[in-house]
Amino acid sequence: MKERYFFAVLFILIIFLGFFVKNPFILNMLSLSAITLIVVTGLNLLLGFAGQISLGHAGFVALGAYISAIASVKFGVNPWIAILIAVFATEIFAIFIGYPTLKLKSHYLAMATLAIGEIINIVTNAWVEATGGPQGFVGIPLLSVFGFALDNEVKFYFFIWSLTFILIFLSINLIDSKFGRALKTIKSKENAAYAFGINVHLYKMIVFLISVFYAALAGGLYAFYIGFISPSSFGLTESINYITMIVVGGMGNFVGVFISSVILSILPNLFASFEDYWPIINGLLLIFVIMFTPNGLKDIFKWTKKQ
């Protein structure tokens, strides 16, 4: 209940902020952080509540981006229909690869998901005729909502943050349901879940498909907002960034993950000159959190107070 109040107040503040911030650079950073937050919220359901890691989640974002862009640019499909097609196609792909993959555990699951993400990245690089290859895919149109074009940073800011909070509230309600309680049981005591009659593999599949839905949707929104996509935006580094945001925020902690996602997605844009060093910084941050503050921000505050 406290989380709902927190996000309700935060939503009002963020919308209020949009009326006063006129700097396109700041609005662009905040909008991109909202898109990242959609991906991380879905991944947090999978990792934070079900305990299933995915080291290739950027691959599903890439599928959402590329399929929607190709459908819109090359086949003239309406952008929103294109996003729906991309999400549906990515979900079908996720069913085929998720069914056998989610039977794996620990580092075997991590390596399998890593391989999936890398395969998608290799395909987007190599299939030049469809994706544009390393040079990228250009000419992606802008989105519009009920004939209202999202043709500047201010309009898209209000739209993307409204959608992001809707998805966050849906995630909180999902976790507070019977389904969410089953996920928590699977994460903490999988054998106990079997004993209670929970179909563990089915629940893992469902939460995996939900997280993929969030990722593909974010990918489609990213493509139509930026107007240009390339494989470099969806590589292993990006997948690790998503994991870092969840670990730093606290796995299964919606508030902590929100804070860490926004901060860690904005900082690289503010300090662009350190772009080459961010993977190292993220690695060190992960090591620190795992060693000293395994519960993320909650423990970081306690650790800081003790020091």
Q: Which of 226, 243, 262, 267 minimizes the C-alpha distance to 69?
A: 226
Q: Is the pLDDT reported for residue 93 higher than 90?
A: yes
- Spell out a b/e string for 67-104, using b for 16 or more CB atoms within 10 Å of the CB, else e: bbbbbbbeeebebeebbbbbbebbbebbeebbeebbee
**Cα separation of 144 and 155, whole Å?**
10
Structure-derived torsion over alpha carbons of residues 216, 221, 223, 226, reported in degrees to the nearest 10:
-150
Q: What is the pLDDT of residue 306?
A: 59
Instruction: Give 149's strand partners.
Output: 144
Q: Which of 203, 219, 202 minimizes the C-alpha distance to 89?
A: 219
Residue whose token pair is 């796995």: 251
Contacts of 276 (CB under 8 A, 6+ apart): none
Contacts of 13 (CB under 8 A, 6+ apart): none
Whether residue 13 lies inside any domain: the answer is no
Burial group, residue 241, by CB count within 10 angstroms (0-12, 13-18, 19+): buried
Is residue 225 very low, low, confident or very high in pLDDT (cuts 50, 70, 90)?
Answer: very high
Whether residue 204 lies inside any domain: the answer is yes
Q: Is the pLDDT reported for residue 183 higher than 80?
A: yes
Tally of domains within the chain:
1
Rounded to two decimals, the pTM is 0.94
Query: Whole domain around residue 49: which residue ranges?
Result: 29-239
Whether residue 76 lies inside any domain: the answer is yes
Whether residue 158 lies inside any domain: the answer is yes
Residue whose token pair is 């107007």: 227
Amino acid sitting at position 226: I
Q: What is the pLDDT of residue 208?
A: 96
Q: What are phi and psi of 137, to 5 degrees?
A: -115, 125
Q: Is the pLDDT reported for residue 84 higher than 70?
A: yes
**Cα separation of 242 and 122, whole Å?**
20
Judged by average pLDDT, the poorest of 183-197, 258-272, 282-296 is 282-296
Q: Is the pLDDT reported for residue 282 higher than 60?
A: yes
Whether residue 232 lies inside any domain: the answer is yes
Whether residue 177 lies inside any domain: the answer is yes
Is residue 301 very low, low, confident or very high in pLDDT (cuts 50, 70, 90)?
Answer: low
Per-residue pLDDT, averaged over 123-147, amounts to: 91
Per-residue pLDDT, averaged over 131-158, amounts to: 90
CB atoms within 10 A of CB 202: 11
**Cα separation of 159 and 179, whole Å?**
29
Q: What is the SS3 assignment for 155?
A: helix
**Cα separation of 166 and 244, whole Å?**
23
- What does the pLDDT look like over 14-61, one tens digit per residue? 999 999 988 999 999 999 999 999 999 999 999 999 999 999 999 999
Q: What is the pLDDT of residue 219?
A: 97
Whether residue 144 lies inside any domain: the answer is yes
| Chain centre to alpha carbon of residue 306 | 33
Is residue 1 very low, low, confident or very high in pLDDT (cuts 50, 70, 90)?
Answer: low
Q: Which of 191, 281, 292, 196 minimizes the C-alpha distance to 245?
A: 281
Whether residue 122 lies inside any domain: the answer is yes
Judged by average pLDDT, the poorest of 2-11, 39-48, 77-86, 275-284 is 275-284
